[in-house]
Amino acid sequence: MTGAGPDPRPRMTEAGGLAGARCEACGYAVAFPRPRCPRCRGELAPAEFGPGGTVWASTVVHVPVPGVEPPFGLAYVDLDDDGPRVLVHTGGEAPLPVGARAELAAPDSLGNLRAR
Amino acid sequence: MTAVWGVGTTRFAKQRERSGAELAWEAVLEALSDAGVDDVDAVYVGTVFGAPGVAQRVLHTLGIVDVPVVTVENACASGTTAFHEARWAIEAGRFDRVLVLGIEQMSAHFDGAIHPEPSDAEGRSGMALPSLYAMSASRYLHEGWVTPEQLAQVSVKNHAHALENPRAQYSGRFTVQEVLASRMIADPLTLLQCCPISDAAAAAVLGRERGEPRDVPVRASRLASGRLWDQTTDHVWGFELVRDVARAAYEEAGIAPADADLFEVHDAFTIGEIVTTEGLGLAEEGGGGELVASGHTALGGAQPVNPSGGLLSRGHPLGATGLAQVAEVVTQLRGDAGGRQVDGARVGVVETMGGGVAGIDGNGCVVAVLGG
């Protein structure tokens, strides 16, 4: 997707985790940059989350969206240790079972976070 | 107290051949005629994909000039946000009579699902509205709160309701099996569980109560954006926002959920109506599937939901949807709804939910209580 401005999606660390942040005051975890904690406006410190997590919900999409060929899977994964809930791409065969374990994987060629 | 003096709508359909101005003319002229007025003090307009200046571009051709014109965008709740703001402007004494207009030409922008917004973290990742709602359905199926057949029943009900709505985009007598067998869009939501792309305009004239028997009082209206929606909640997207806004609206109106005779709610997808009926207090959380299966929310049931056919069947022209809902409730409360009339309707509730921003429980939700 070109001409769409800076990429707002969460990023991964070189170690394979999610490059997020955690509030130094209340411990709230966020997946992508922001100036302060949105819950208490405390200072945020960079934090790495995952790569492990638990599937909160999942679907397989059968209609095209710009730049993505259907079918493609999507899941919300709650990263371990009170980490953030992140949207990840999964295989297009079937939705992941809710409550199943998942692990972040390197982004696909479109730059989307993946899980397996 | 503020009252709805008149309402007007176009039909709901893909109408590429008609300009936005033509759509607006039809809805506005019908609303002005219904209200029995020629001019207004201000105009509030709801639109999502309308071009800059769309409101003034259509209004000046009707001679509606030299008044404040305020255009608002609040995703699918744009029309009811305009309604809510107009109502409170009247309550505050700023204006005596206000035109509210919702307008959307979806087919000029989209062939299929609405494109995700690329500046949004999830939109950039390919999250479209069908998949957002599918996530809620995934969760409900996992919890055992709904069955695929109960989801499909929402579509069966609303398509049947629309048979008696001559302005509806789609209608039909479908079976649960036909709904489930239609093309998969976002698992588990099939095509007949998703609202269509629509072009339409809808309008209402609001004013101070003036003693006209056909006017419908606005007992309450509330608007809020969603709280943070994240790893700390197991409620599906939008549930808490609908619940909290509805509670505030009921309190303002002095009613309980059981006091309302009918509801027009945001059934953009079948799971949306299930979750919304729970948020509105018609059932406990997790009880919306059984509620629709029981017939409680069907025409002829105790509290019909979406007698117009709802977004699923009447159509969902985003910015116009809220005013279409208001028009339906006003028509019902006047007893003018013909074959889809809710017997003895005295109090009606409108609920509209806008989404698309990752990380919050909804861009905006409006709940309004009319009549009584």
Arithmetic mean of pLDDT, A84-100: 94
- Does residue B95 share a domain with residue B175? no
**Nearest CB partner across the interface for B231, out of A4, A78, A110:** A78
- Does residue B15 share a domain with residue B145? no
Asked, for residue B91, whether it belongs to a domain, the answer is yes
- Does residue B207 share a domain with residue B162? no
- Does residue B7 share a domain with residue B152? no
Q: For chain A, what is the largest distance between any 2 Cα atoms, rounded to a whole number of angstroms? A: 43
DSSP B172-211: ----HHHHHHSPEEETTEEGGGBPPB-EEEEEEEEEE---
- At A3 the pLDDT is 57
**Cβ-based neighbour number of residue A18 at 10 Å:** 25
- Does residue B19 share a domain with residue B105? yes
- Does residue B153 share a domain with residue B95? no
Arithmetic mean of pLDDT, B193-217: 97
**Nearest CB partner across the interface for B127, out of A60, A79, A87:** A87
d(CA A70, CA A83): 29
- Does residue B209 share a domain with residue B80? yes
- Does residue B298 share a domain with residue B238? yes
The first and second tokens of residue B301, run together, are 């049931």
B32-63: string of b/e by CB count within 10 Å (b at 16+)? bebbeeeebebbbbbbbbbeeebbeebbeeee
- At B272 the pLDDT is 98
Arithmetic mean of pLDDT, B132-136: 98
Express each pLDDT in B148-174 by its tens digit: 999 999 999 999 999 999 999 999 999
Mean pLDDT of chain B: 97
Inform me whether the C-beta atom of residue A10 falls under 8 Å from chain B C-beta atoms: yes
- At A33 the pLDDT is 82
Residue A30 identity (one-letter amino acid): V
- Does residue B222 share a domain with residue B211? no
Q: For chain B, what is the largest distance between any 2 Cα atoms, rounded to a whole number of angstroms? A: 56
Express each pLDDT in A19-71 by its tens digit: 999 999 999 999 988 899 999 999 999 999 999 999 999 999 999 988 788 99
* Three-state secondary structure string covering chain A: CCCCCCCCCCCECCCCCEEEEEECCCCCEECCCCCCCCCCCCCEEEEEECCEEEEEEEEEECCCECCECCCEEEEEEEECCCCCEEEEEECCCCCCCCCCEEEEECCCCCCCCEEC
Residues in chain B: 372
The first and second tokens of residue B179, run together, are 């709904």
Respond yes or no on whether ipTM tops 0.85.
Answer: yes
Asked, for residue B120, whether it belongs to a domain, the answer is no
Residue A61 identity (one-letter amino acid): V
Q: In CATH, what number is assigned to the domain containing residue B203? A: 3.40.47.10
How far A32 CA sits from the closest chain B CA (Å)? 8
- At A68 the pLDDT is 87
d(CA B277, CA B264): 10
Asked, for residue A104, whether it belongs to a domain, the answer is yes
The count of domains in chain A is 1
Asked, for residue B122, whether it belongs to a domain, the answer is no
The count of domains in chain B is 2
- Does residue B314 share a domain with residue B277? yes
- At B200 the pLDDT is 98
Residue B341 pLDDT grade (very low, low, confident, very high; cuts 50, 70, 90): very high
> Does the pLDDT value for residue B229 go beyond 70?
yes
How far A47 CA sits from the closest chain B CA (Å)? 16
Asked, for residue B70, whether it belongs to a domain, the answer is yes
d(CA A86, CA A104): 10
- CA distances from residue B238 to A16, B32, B126, B163, B354 in whole angstroms, order as listed: 32, 35, 20, 29, 9
* B289, B274 Cβ separation under 8 angstroms: yes
Express each pLDDT in B251-293 by its tens digit: 999 999 999 999 999 999 999 999 999 999 999 999 999 999 9
Task: Pick the residue of B151, B231, B235, B360 with the most A CBs within 10 A to test the interface with A by mutation.
Answer: B231
Domain that holds residue B15: 2-109+199-215
Domain that holds residue A95: 18-115
Residues of B labelled as active-site residues:
76, 316
Asked, for residue A53, whether it belongs to a domain, the answer is yes
Q: What 8-state DSSP symbol labels residue B52?
A: T
Q: Is the alpha carbon torsion for A16, B128, B279, A57 positive or negative?
A: negative
Partners of B4 in the β-ladder: B206, B216
Asked, for residue A6, whether it belongs to a domain, the answer is no
Express each pLDDT in B348-357 by its tens digit: 999 999 999 9
d(CA B134, CA A73): 11
- At A1 the pLDDT is 46
- Does residue B137 share a domain with residue B23? no
- Does residue B80 share a domain with residue B15? yes
Of the three residues B186, B215, B244, the one that is the final residue of a domain is: B215
> Does the pLDDT value for residue B323 go beyond 50?
yes
Express each pLDDT in B113-128 by its tens digit: 787 889 999 999 999 8
Asked, for residue A67, whether it belongs to a domain, the answer is yes
Put simply, the answer to whether A68 touches B124 (Cβ < 8 Å) is no
Asked, for residue B320, whether it belongs to a domain, the answer is yes
Asked, for residue A3, whether it belongs to a domain, the answer is no
% chain B with pLDDT above 90: 96
